[in-house]
Amino acid sequence: MASAYAAEPAAQYSFAIAAQPLTQALNAFVHVTGQELAYPAALANDRVSSAVEGDMPAWQALQTLLQGTGLVFRQDNARQVITLEPASVESSSALQLDATTVHGIGNGLEAGQWVYGQPRSVSEIDRKQLDDRPARHAADMLEQTAGVYSSVSQQDPALSVNIRGIQDYGRVNMNIDGMRQNFQKSGHGQRNGQMYIDPELISSVVIDKGPSSAMGGAGAIGGIATFGTLTADEFLEPGKEIGGKLKLGGGDNGTHFIGSGAFAVGNEIGDILLAASERHMGDYWPGNLGNIGDIRTAVGTPENTAQAQKNLKNSQVTDSGYTMRSHLLKAGINLPQQQRVQFSYLSTSTKSPNPSMITQVGDITELGWKSSGFSDTDSSSLALDYSLSPEDSAWLDLKAKLYYVDTDDDSDTYRTSASVDNSYQTQTRVRTYGFQLQNHSYLQLTPQRQLDVDYGLEFFYDKATSDSSRTQVVNVTPGGNRSMASLFSRLSYEHDGWLTLEGGLRYDRYRLRGDTGMEIVTFPYTQENPCVARRLTGCPTVRAWTPWDVDAKEGRFSPTFALAVKPGVEWLQLFTSYGKSWRPPALTETLTTGSAHSSSTQYPNPWLDSEHSRSWETGVNVQFDGLLTNNDRLGAKLAWFDTRVDNYINLEIDRVKPGVFTASSGNAAYVNNLLAMRFRGLEFQLDYDAERIYGALSYTRMVGSNSSCSMPAWMGGVIVRESEPNASGTNNYYAGNSEWNGFVRCDYNTLFGSAAYLPGDRGSLTLGSRWFDQRLDAGLIVRYNRGHQDDSTVNSSGGNGDFYVADWPEYTLVDLYASYRLSSQLKLSASVENVGNRAYIVNYGDSVSYTLGRGRTVQGALEYRF
């Protein structure tokens, strides 16, 4: 019966379970693995387990434990539990009795313990963490996770995930249940790739950091962020065919309403889940104690700057309210031979105002934001999943997914002139079609040696369209299509529980197609055919549109390698890995052309090179059971990472167009950085649970900084006027401008985007305790930001001339949370965010909007489960 579970990834656990009554042995198994078992209550009576000693996968331990009991186990893929049954009973009738379900310690941290058995950097955000600190903005979910950031603006409900300083344009694969969210819309914000998700419908978030030879790794040089939505098995269990929840919440400081509901019905034939959520947010007040930085808020004299900061900290953050409505449907059917087919649908509708950059809104000491528009965004994701995992086959665990994602943004931009109506409407739409196919094979070579192989293919196709009532805006976020196909394989060999060797290889191939162009001013005279007019006005220039029909293709192999060793002790694992990856240019980076306002214009770059990365990582896993008490557990992970990216693509201003030399700081284009960019640092995460008390700690230390070099004349072809005397006057002609063509300029403060700076250091500490038979769960969260302020951007008059600037002062915030289970079905929860009402700017937050974080905010919720 081992094969029923052998298809799962073979994570290693340390077992020391003595032969004992079966019920106690099964409890010990659950304590070690965190797995969920289901079996009729009377099934374990009068049975004695076999002893289990050493390191092995969970399936092997359970098989050993059940030897001699007359029982076997099987995995219920529909409900993600392991069921026990007599060896002679057919699986179709195995669960007709009332069943007992054995869970782990129930600490909320248990769900994420598996990450400490993985020889790589991976983090999980579980439902308990989401409930303890309710997210007003989706980016709040990520703030306690090592190595994960978001260039968040609380005035924009869209989410952008940054892993170790890397973000935008697919560098991080942001997905919902495996469905890539590739929407992108150009703007002043530091987010060029955003998704829409309500945290109320999230079950967990898994962050895989760095390159991957597994599903989802195509084109993702930063990592993979998977947002898993609710499933029916969270509300159903053997013997229970109907379940669900209803949650109603709200609070002060703009938190008007947060609510959700879920209903699930299912049995051995199949299941259906229906869920919905809604949130209504209003403008909020920031904290008014502490420092918010004096670079972005500099308004002349120190006295005026101090007054401006005081005014800003005591004013509402306008345009931070939004409305979000989401609906989720999942319907699955279980077929013979452990087959399952599931259809899922998720829709999210968001309505939100659009603010300006931080600006003067009154006299010189009154800073704030002006309302510049309004956005109505609809995002829908549909998927059809198929899985096949026969009980009698360890080499077949097949999964397939066909999906479609459609994100449509309809935005109105308000007029900015009293005399001229310069308002306009813009529609930006990205549709993604995807297909995934993968299989997992497990081979037990000998009792001490085992082999796991993951292999498959992934394909996704993005089709972008754009329209606007203002012609110049249509192609700022351009139309076009881009596809990527990927074949991958990853092989993992484990020997005697102490050695793991892993190798992977993927081949990606992409294609990008679209039309673009720009207006170029030329002079139709050469040295051989000069203009001989007596006056220069008789030698006119020619202004012409130059089009490009882009059809770019490229393919590349990317290997990964990993090694993990347990050096003679069961609780310690050392690991290291190396991997290469790449990212081809995105549609906007290649095809953008136009202007959303009069101060700047974006130009295309059909000649962009792909980004190539190589990543090193080395780290330590620690797993201790029974460290201080018989029932406690400690998990810790420490990792050093170093990623180098060549040809990193940035949007830079102050470009020089082809044709007659015309320099303008408002000319912008995406260009390759001629210097390698480095993303290095140290991550630490720790979880401890002793039933009565528990805690979690995370810290990220980013190291170094980056420089940029690029060619201002990014496409070459710049010409200047030359002249030669002749008998009747002067010969005028144009020749190549050697001063600009090929000229490279470095660190000129022209980079216009989030990569101008690395994220700063930050950490998080959670301390909690449970009382009254674990019905009361209360604790505190401390969030720390070491701060990063770049004073080099301040000019001699005390002002700041850069768009993107690091101005994130150090801060420490304290949050409180508590929940009380009034009954087995009813739970009351409350939280206080930013107890000290500190004023702060989120680390690596949007430096253009410069949106202050929320001040003291009290929230509460009542949840009923059935």
pLDDT of residue 796: 59
Share of the chain above pLDDT 90, in %: 64
pLDDT of residue 591: 97
pTM score, whole prediction: 0.87
The pairing of strands 37-40 and 99-102 is: antiparallel
Report how far residue 283's alpha carbon sits from residue 272's, in angstroms, rounded to the nearest whole number. 37
Q: Which of 265-269, 571-575, 691-695, 786-790 has the lowest mean pLDDT?
A: 786-790
Three-state SS at 50:
coil
| Residue of 466, 442, 399 whose CA lies nearest to 183 | 466
Are the CB atoms for 858 and 252 separated by under 8 Å? yes
The pairing of strands 202-209 and 857-865 is: unpaired
Are the CB atoms for 251 and 199 separated by under 8 Å? no
pLDDT of residue 657: 92
Helix (H) or strand (E) holding 621: strand 611-625
Q: Which of 468-477, 762-771, 789-798 has the lowest mean pLDDT?
A: 789-798
- 803 vs 861: which has the higher pLDDT: 861
Q: Which of 10-14, 52-56, 307-311, 320-324 has the lowest mean pLDDT?
A: 10-14
Both tokens of residue 653?
């201003």
Check pLDDT > 90 for residue 618.
yes
Check pLDDT > 70 for residue 8.
no
Check pLDDT > 50 for residue 2.
no
Check pLDDT > 70 for residue 95.
no
88-94-98-99 Cα dihedral, nearest 10 degrees = 90
Both tokens of residue 35?
């797995």
Are the CB atoms for 269 and 334 separated by under 8 Å? yes
pLDDT of residue 287: 96
Per-residue model confidence as pLDDT tens digits over 730-757: 788 888 888 889 899 998 778 887 788 8
Both tokens of residue 862?
């009542």
Count CB-CB contacts under 10 A for residue 775. 14
Band (803; pLDDT cuts 50, 70, 90): low
- Residues 6 or more apart whose CB falls under 8 angstroms from that of 763 comprise 697, 698, 699, 700, 783, 784
Band (214; pLDDT cuts 50, 70, 90): very high
Instruction: Say which amino acid occupies 261.
Output: G
Check pLDDT > 90 for residue 417.
no
Report how far residue 770's alpha carbon sits from residue 289's, in angstroms, rounded to the nearest whole number. 32
Check pLDDT > 60 for residue 88.
no
Q: What is the CATH code of the structural domain delimited by 3-104?
A: 3.55.50.30
Band (794; pLDDT cuts 50, 70, 90): low
Are the CB atoms for 344 and 382 separated by under 8 Å? yes
Q: How many residues does the chain have?
A: 866
pLDDT of residue 799: 60
Are the CB atoms for 364 and 335 separated by under 8 Å? no
Instruction: Say which amino acid occupies 48.
Output: V
pLDDT of residue 188: 62
pLDDT of residue 735: 87
Both tokens of residue 734?
């144009």
The string of DSSP letters for 522-558 reads: E----SSS-B--SSGGGS--EEEEEEEEEEEEEEEEE
Q: Where in the chain is the domain with CATH 2.40.170.20?
A: 119-865
pLDDT of residue 605: 97
- 842 vs 281: which has the higher pLDDT: 281
Q: Which of 152-156, 468-472, 536-540, 642-646 has the lowest mean pLDDT?
A: 536-540
pLDDT of residue 494: 92
Share of the chain above pLDDT 70, in %: 92
Give the CA count within 13 Å in the CB-facing half-sphere of 569. 9
Report how far residue 141's alpha carbon sits from residue 126's, in angstroms, rounded to the nearest whole number. 10
Are the CB atoms for 490 and 504 separated by under 8 Å? yes
- 797 vs 636: which has the higher pLDDT: 636
Report the pLDDT averaged over residues 762-769.
97
Check pLDDT > 70 for residue 91.
no
- 188 vs 262: which has the higher pLDDT: 262
Are the CB atoms for 592 and 477 separated by under 8 Å? yes
Q: Which of 90-99, 231-240, 345-354, 579-588 has the lowest mean pLDDT?
A: 90-99
Report how far residue 823's alpha carbon sits from residue 690's, in angstroms, rounded to the nearest whole number. 23
pLDDT of residue 586: 97
Please name the residue ranges forming H helices in 289-373: 302-313
Per-residue model confidence as pLDDT tens digits over 102-125: 433 333 335 568 899 899 999 999
pLDDT of residue 9: 41
Check pLDDT > 50 for residue 269.
yes
Q: Which CATH number fits domain 119-865: 1.10.3720.10, 2.40.30.170, 3.30.750.24, 2.40.170.20?
A: 2.40.170.20
pLDDT of residue 99: 38
Are the CB atoms for 402 and 343 separated by under 8 Å? no
Report the pLDDT averaged over residues 653-660.
91
Q: Where in the chain is the domain with CATH 3.55.50.30?
A: 3-104
Report the pLDDT averaged over residues 473-481.
95
pLDDT of residue 310: 92
| Residue of 461, 471, 349, 322 whose CA lies nearest to 410 | 349
The pairing of strands 255-266 and 242-251 is: antiparallel
Report how far residue 432's alpha carbon sits from residue 407's, in angstroms, rounded to the nearest whole number. 9
Check pLDDT > 70 for residue 89.
no
Count CB-CB contacts under 10 A for residue 471. 10
Q: Can you state the percent helix, strand and coil of the chain, rounding each to 5?
A: 10, 50, 40
pLDDT of residue 801: 57
> Cα–Cα distances in Å, from 265 out to 101, 329, 401?
18, 12, 23
Both tokens of residue 568?
């003679």
Band (818; pLDDT cuts 50, 70, 90): very high
Per-residue model confidence as pLDDT tens digits over 720-729: 888 888 766 7
pLDDT of residue 473: 92
Report the pLDDT averaged over residues 612-628.
94
Check pLDDT > 80 for residue 11.
no
> Cα–Cα distances in Å, from 260 out to 512, 530, 545, 646, 866?
40, 74, 53, 45, 14
Both tokens of residue 632?
């406690």
Tell me the sheet residues that pair with 211.
Answer: none
Report how far residue 686's alpha carbon sits from residue 191's, in angstroms, rounded to the nearest whole number. 30
